[in-house]
Structure 1
Amino acid sequence: MSSEWPLIKVEDVCSLIVDCVNKTAPVSEQPTPFRMIRTTNVRNGRINLSDCKFVDEETFGKWTRRAEVRAGDVILTREAPIGEVGAVPDTEGLFLGQRLMQYRADRSKLDQRFLLYSFLSPQLQHQFGSHEGSGSVVSHIRVGDCFKFELRLPPLPVQQKIGDILGSLDNKIDLNRRINQTLEAMAQAIFKSWFVDFDPVKAKIAALAEGRDPLRTAMSTISGKAEAELDALPPEAFEQLAATAALFPDEMQESALGEIPKGWEIQAAESLSEVGIGKTPPRKEPQWFTEGDGDWRWVSIKDMGASGVFQKKSSEFLTSEAVSRFNVRVVPDRTVLLSFKLTIGRVAITEGAMVTNEAIAHFKLPSDAAVSSEYLYLYLKSFDYSTLGSTSSIADAVNSKTIRGLPIVLAERTLIGRFTKAVAPHFQEIRNRQNEIGSLCATRDTLLPKLLSGEIEVPV
C-alpha cells in the first residue's frame, strides 16, 4: 500500500523547477516556427499544441535562454486556472508563457510519467487547491509552494510500471483523437472543395472555355483522378461519379455572399432550421445546478471546446425542476450547436438530449430539412464570422438575431444528399471513436488513484 511508500517533497526528486513570471512575450500575428505554451493549452492531462501563440525568433531566443523545454517535462498551471497538468509532447520551437511551472524529474529517483499521473491524482489536486494564494482577485498557487507539494514514492520499477499501464491507455486515447482529427479534416476538405471553393463548378467553366468535356473534367476534380484514369473505374463507381458531377452547374451567379454556382440559394438559418438559444438559471440560487451526475447535461462554451465533433459531456448539470421552471430549451439528439458569445464559432453535434447556456445557439433540423447535420456542421465550422458585424469587436456584434439570420449557401438538395452520404461514414466513425475515448478515459481515471495508492499492486 502507499502508506509503505515514503512521502517526499517534489523538490527532492525534480532537478529543475522553473516559473516564467516576467512580462508576457509579444506574440506574432503570422505563423512562425516558434510557439508559446499558455495556461489555456494545458487541459485534462494534455498539452494542446494546436492553439499555441506564435512569436518571432528573437523573442523565442530571449525566453528560452531562461529555461529550455524538454519532451516529458511536466507543466502545472498555477493561475487561471490552477492545477491543470500536462506533459510536453514535443520540444521543437516551444517555450513557456506566464503562470506555468515546469518540473523535470531526476530520472534516477522519479519516473517522469509517474510524476504526471501523481499530479493528476485526487491527492495532489487537493494540495494544489489548498495552496491557493489569498490577497488577489485571481486565485493562484504561490511560486514557493510549488516546490513543496508532497507525493508517495514507490520504488522506481513500480513507478515505471504504473506509468506504462496508464500511459498505454493515454496512447490509445491520443491515437483515437488523431484519427478523429484526420476523419474530420477529410470531410471538411470535401465540403470546402464542393461548397466553398466550388471546384467542380469552376472546373466545368474552364473546360467549356477550352473546348473540353465539362462532365469528365468535373469527375476528375471530384475524384482526384486524372481523366485518363476514369475509364479504369468499375462501372458502378463510374456511373455514381458521373451522376454526382452532373449535379454541379457550369455557371456562376452573383449573391449577397459574392459569386455562387447558378441555381444555388442563400437562405437564413431560421428558414432552414428552428434556431433556439440556451438559458442560465439564476446563479445566486445554487440549488438548480449540480456537478457530476444530474438530470440534464448543461453545456457551456468551455464544454464545447473540450469535446470533439459530438457533444456528449458537460461540466455542470441542471435539475429537471430548473429546466421546467425557467423554461430552458431542451436540445434533441443530433442537433448542431454554435457558440456565439465571447468565443464565437465553436461547433458541435449533440449526442443525446441536453440543455445549454445562453451563449450557445441550437439549429434543430426538421425531418424534411434541405440540409443535413453534417452539412450544417461543416458549413458553420468554415463560416467567416467576421462578416456578421461592422463593429471593432465581433463579439459585441453577434447576437441571437444575427444568428437566426445567418446566411447559409444552399446547394441543390440531391447534391447535398450525395455529399451527406459520402461523409456520413466519417462522422459515424468519429462518433464511435469518441465513445471509445470516453470508455478509455473512465478506465484510466478509475485505475489512477488505485494504482497510486497501492490498492492495485503491479508486478515488476
Structure 2
Amino acid sequence: MASEIEWFEKPLGEVTNNHDGKRRPVKESERKKGPFPYYGASGIVDEVDGYLFDGSYLLIAEDGENLRTRQTPIAFMAHGKFWVNNHAHIVTGTDDVSTEYLHYFLQVADIQPFLTGAVMPKLTQGNLNRIPVRYPPPRHQREIVKVLKALDDKIALNHRINQTLEAMAQAIFKSWFVDFDPVKAKIAAKAEGRDPLRAAMTAISGKPDAELDTLPPDQLAPLAATAALFPDEMEDSELGEIPKGWSAAPFGSMLTHTIGGDWGADVPDATNDTRVAIIRGTDLPDLDQAQTNRVPVRYTTQKKLASRRMQFGDIVLEVSGGSRDQPTGRSFRMTANAMNEFDCPVEPASFCRLLRPVSPEIGVILGLHLSHIYQQGKTWEYQNQSTGIANFQTAHFLEAELVARPPKAVADAFFKMVNPILERRHDPQGKRLAELRDALLPKLLSGELQVNSTEVEVTA
C-alpha cells in the first residue's frame, strides 16, 4: 500500500546540529577514573572524572571496521553527563528531524558509498553530512520512535533482569565455592553449641533460623538435604583451607575437550558448505537474547564443525584481544535455552577457545568460576602482553588455576539450584522481541508500515 504520509529527504548535515568541535580525546595513560562514561566509536570505552556533554546526543562512529561489518550499531544514544573522544561524531536533531528518529534511521541507512579508507574505514564529517535522510513530519516521527523505543525498552528490561539472574547465580557460587559459608556456619554452630544443620540451612537459604520452620515441607526437606551434604570441618590444600573431603583441582583436569575457534568463510563453497553461528569475544560475557540475534553466521567444513560444535554446558573462553581496561578471559557457558535460540550449529570464533567440562554439573561451577575470577581481575595473572596484545595463556591457566572441586552430590545439588536461574537468562521472549524490532525497523523507516496509534504498549 502506498504511504499516505508525506515524506521528505535532505542531507544529514541540513537536519542536524554537529558538536564535533567539543570532542576531546584523552590518552589512556592520562585518564583519571571517575563516574562519567568515556565514549568511543562503538560505545563506552572507559570511565573518567570529567564530562564534556550533558544531555541527550546521538553518537555516530567515525572510523573502525564495524562501519563495514555493522556487527554492532554504528549510531547510539548517549544521555546525561559524558565525555567523547574523536572517534565518534556527535549530533543532535533539529525541528525537522528528531535526534531519536535519526538514531533509528542510521541503523538501516546505507552508508557504504560515504566511507573512505581501503584498510580502516572512515566516515568523515563531510561525508556524514551528505548521507540522505528520509523522514516524515515530526508527529509521525514520534509515533515511529514510540513503537521502536517500546521494544528497545522491553529488551533493555530483559537485559537488566538477565544481569540480576547472573548476579544471583554468582552470589550462590561465591557462598558455596569461595567463602564456603555452609561449612563455616556449621563450624561456628558446633563451637557455640547450636545445631550445625540448621546453621547451614540458614547460610544456604539466607533465612533466619526462626523462619526456617515457616517454609512448606516441599522446600524445607530439600533444604535440609542440601545442608547435610556439607561437612563441618575444613582442611589444608594447595588452594588454602577448603571443606573436608573436597579437592583443589586444576581447572583443566575438569575438562574433556579444548580446542581453538574458527572464523569460517563469508560464503559457502565446495569445502565450507556448513552454515554455522560464530560466537566472538565481543559477544562475551553478557550474551543474551538480543545479542544472539546479532551473532554472525558463516560457513565451515564438516571436519572443523565436528570438533568445535558447541554442546549444552560447553564454555567459550576469549583468549586474545584484550586491553589494559579489559583483559582477556571473558567467557560464556552454553545453556539449553541459548542453544535453542540459534537456527544452526554454533562454534567459537578465532581468538576464542572451546572448553568442554566433564559434566554439565561441573560445567556450571567452571563457568561461574571463570566469571568470578574475571570480575575480580584475576585473569590478569594469565596475560602475556609481549606482542602488545593481551593474550590469555590458556595452557598455563588450565594447569595453574585451582578450583575447589566438591563431591558429586554437592555439584549435583548446586546444578539443581543454579542451572534454572541461568536458563531463565535465555527465555525465548527476548529473541522474539529483537526479531520483531529488527523486522519493523526498515518497514517503519521506509513508510511501508504506518503507525496510527498514539499509544504503544509492548507486553510479554
| Corresponding residue for residue 253 of structure 1 | 235
TM-aligned CA deviation for residue 218 of structure 1: 2.1
| Corresponding residue for residue 381 of structure 1 | 371
CA distance, structure 1, for counterparts of residue 177 and residue 290 of structure 2: 22
TM-aligned CA deviation for residue 264 of structure 1: 1.0
| Corresponding residue for residue 58 of structure 2 | 74
| Corresponding residue for residue 55 of structure 1 | 48
CA distance, structure 1, for counterparts of residue 290 and residue 136 of structure 2: 40
Name stretches of at least 5 consecutive residues in structure 1 with no aligned partner. Answer: 42-48
Residues 1:115 and 2:102 aligned together: yes
TM-aligned CA deviation for residue 239 of structure 1: 2.8
Residue 302 of structure 1 is aligned with which of 282, 285, 290? 282
TM-aligned CA distance change 1:365 to 1:211, over 3 Å: same
CA distance, structure 1, for counterparts of residue 389 and residue 289 of structure 2: 24
TM-aligned CA distance change 1:281 to 1:156, over 3 Å: closer
TM-aligned CA deviation for residue 444 of structure 1: 1.5
Q: Quick one: which amino acid aligns to residue 426 of structure 1?
A: I
Indicate conservation of the 8 Å contact 2:62/2:88, yes or no: yes
RMSD of aligned C-alpha atoms? 3.4
CA distance, structure 2, for counterparts of residue 235 and residue 149 of structure 1: 66
The Cα offsets for residues 359-392 of structure 1, whole Å up to 9 and x where unpaired, read as 32323345xx383433222122113323446888
TM-aligned CA deviation for residue 152 of structure 1: 1.0
Indicate conservation of the 8 Å contact 1:279/1:328, yes or no: no
Residues 1:94 and 2:82 aligned together: yes
| Corresponding residue for residue 45 of structure 1 | none
Residue 419 of structure 2 is aligned with which of 424, 430, 434? 424
Residues 1:349 and 2:328 aligned together: no
TM-aligned CA deviation for residue 130 of structure 1: 2.3
- Relative to the length of structure 1, the TM-score reads 0.81
TM-aligned CA distance change 1:155 to 1:77, over 3 Å: same
CA distance, structure 1, for counterparts of residue 449 and residue 190 of structure 2: 71
TM-aligned CA deviation for residue 190 of structure 1: 0.9
Indicate conservation of the 8 Å contact 2:281/2:318, yes or no: yes
CA distance, structure 2, for counterparts of residue 375 and residue 310 of structure 1: 25
TM-aligned CA deviation for residue 356 of structure 1: 2.5
TM-aligned CA deviation for residue 175 of structure 1: 1.5
CA distance, structure 1, for counterparts of residue 318 and residue 200 of structure 2: 36
Residues 1:448 and 2:438 aligned together: no
TM-aligned CA distance change 1:15 to 1:283, over 3 Å: closer
Q: Quick one: which amino acid aligns to residue 353 of structure 2?
A: A
CA distance, structure 2, for counterparts of residue 310 and residue 362 of structure 1: 22
CA distance, structure 1, for counterparts of residue 22 and residue 239 of structure 2: 46
TM-aligned CA deviation for residue 27 of structure 1: 6.5
Residue 411 of structure 1 is aligned with which of 403, 406, 410? 406
Residues 1:13 and 2:15 aligned together: yes
Residues 1:318 and 2:306 aligned together: no
Q: Quick one: which amino acid aligns to residue 77 of structure 2?
A: V
CA distance, structure 2, for counterparts of residue 197 and residue 429 of structure 1: 26
The Cα offsets for residues 211-244 of structure 1, whole Å up to 9 and x where unpaired, read as 4333222222222222222233334433322222
| Corresponding residue for residue 335 of structure 1 | 314
Q: Quick one: which amino acid aligns to residue 360 of structure 1?
A: C
| Corresponding residue for residue 44 of structure 1 | none
TM-aligned CA distance change 1:389 to 1:262, over 3 Å: farther
- Relative to the length of structure 2, the TM-score reads 0.81
- Partner of 1:7, secondary structure, is strand
CA distance, structure 2, for counterparts of residue 35 and residue 298 of structure 1: 29
TM-aligned CA deviation for residue 95 of structure 1: 2.1
TM-aligned CA distance change 1:30 to 1:255, over 3 Å: farther
CA distance, structure 2, for counterparts of residue 160 and residue 414 of structure 1: 57
- Partner of 1:342, secondary structure, is strand
Deviates more, 1:201-210 or 1:82-91: 82-91
Residues 1:36 and 2:20 aligned together: no
Q: Quick one: which amino acid aligns to residue 69 of structure 1?
A: D
Write out aligned runs for 1:252-291 (5 A): 252-280=234-262, 287=269
TM-aligned CA deviation for residue 182 of structure 1: 1.1
CA distance, structure 1, for counterparts of residue 217 and residue 36 of structure 2: 50
- Partner of 1:8, secondary structure, is strand
CA distance, structure 2, for counterparts of residue 156 and residue 209 of structure 1: 72
The Cα offsets for residues 135-169 of structure 1, whole Å up to 9 and x where unpaired, read as x8532111232333220121111111111111121
Q: Quick one: which amino acid aligns to residue 411 of structure 1?
A: P
CA distance, structure 2, for counterparts of residue 381 and residue 31 of structure 1: 23
CA distance, structure 1, for counterparts of residue 401 and residue 389 of structure 2: 14
- Partner of 2:319, secondary structure, is strand
- Partner of 2:60, secondary structure, is strand
Residues 1:214 and 2:196 aligned together: yes
Deviates more, 1:176-185 or 1:144-153: 144-153
| Corresponding residue for residue 196 of structure 1 | 178
Residue 141 of structure 1 is aligned with which of 96, 120, 123? 123
CA distance, structure 2, for counterparts of residue 29 and residue 409 of structure 1: 38
Deviates more, 1:27-36 or 1:151-160: 27-36
CA distance, structure 2, for counterparts of residue 275 and residue 412 of structure 1: 22
TM-aligned CA distance change 1:159 to 1:27, over 3 Å: farther
Matched pairs, number? 427
CA distance, structure 1, for counterparts of residue 92 and residue 191 of structure 2: 64
Deviates more, 1:246-255 or 1:442-451: 246-255
Indicate conservation of the 8 Å contact 2:183/2:231, yes or no: yes
| Corresponding residue for residue 458 of structure 2 | none
- Equivalent pairs: percent with the same residue? 31
Indicate conservation of the 8 Å contact 1:289/1:317, yes or no: no
Indicate conservation of the 8 Å contact 1:13/1:109, yes or no: yes
TM-aligned CA deviation for residue 261 of structure 1: 1.7
The Cα offsets for residues 86-127 of structure 1, whole Å up to 9 and x where unpaired, read as 443641x42222311112122x32233211110111xx2x22
TM-aligned CA distance change 1:288 to 1:133, over 3 Å: farther
CA distance, structure 2, for counterparts of residue 331 and residue 229 of structure 1: 43
TM-aligned CA distance change 1:323 to 1:263, over 3 Å: same
CA distance, structure 1, for counterparts of residue 263 and residue 138 of structure 2: 50
CA distance, structure 2, for counterparts of residue 310 and residue 257 of structure 1: 38
CA distance, structure 2, for counterparts of residue 196 and residue 202 of structure 1: 11
| Corresponding residue for residue 70 of structure 2 | none
